[in-house]
Structure 1
């Protein structure tokens, strides 16, 4: 049973990662009425987040170019997932931003308790 829950928590983290990208893209496409700015922010924002995650956080650090551990990894995750919540909030979606942040906190606490980090 615990193994199944740990697996579900890992899958949840993957969907949270995708949610960060969707949040940044959503913000980007709503940030301005100008289509050039929408395209730049809506595509460039997620691209920047993808680059940072690939460099430092991919696969729990195992697949990262420069894997981070300990406090540095915790800061990366807080900035990454907090960024997802922040950009939802910046796009005028306060309730989904709060839910996103809460789900991340629950996921992170479970990963720490279950030694999935």
Structure 2
């Protein structure tokens, strides 16, 4: 049973990554009118995904040291929730609670090797 919960926690991590990108895109679409909204709604999530892929993802070609990675995680997972607070506060709070719970379980179950490999 615990093994299944651990696997679900890793799946939750990936889901939170995707939800964070969607939240950043949603925020970007609402911050501009017309083509500026479209431009920011598409390019900002792409920039975040590229930055995460280069420095923070499990197979990053340029991995950061542990403290730098923790700071990057706080930015990549925390900023979407902060941006959504003004647009959809309940959704933002649910997302942020999921992020905190996921990170606590990663530390508790010693899953850092699964997300930093």
Q: 1:114 aligns with which of 98, 103, 109?
A: 109
Structure 2 unaligned segments of length 5 or more: list them: 113-117
Residue 69 of structure 1 deviates from its aligned partner by 3.7
Aligned structure 1 segments of 4 or more residues deviating by more than 2 angstroms = none
Tell me the residue number matched to 1:100: 95
Equivalents in 2 of 1:96, 1:68: separation in Å? 30
* Pairwise CA RMSD: 1.1
Query: What are the superposed Cα offsets for residues 55-85 of structure 1, whole Å, 9 maximum, x if unpaired?
Result: 11112xxx10211242111111111100110
Q: Judging changes above 3 Å, is the alpha-carbon distance between structure 1 residues 25 and 67 closer, same or farther for their aligned structure 2 residues?
A: same
Equivalent residues, number: 112
Q: 2:71 aligns with which of 69, 75, 93?
A: 75
Deviation at 1:47, TM superposition (A): 0.7
Aligned partner of residue 58 in structure 1, secondary structure: coil
Cα deviation 1:65-109 (Å, max 9, x = unaligned): 21124211111111110011022124x111111111111000000
CA distance in 1: counterparts of 2:4 and 2:37, whole angstroms: 41
Distance 1:84 1:66 in 2: 23
- TM-score norm. by structure 2 comes to 0.90
The question of 1:30 aligning with 2:12 is answered no
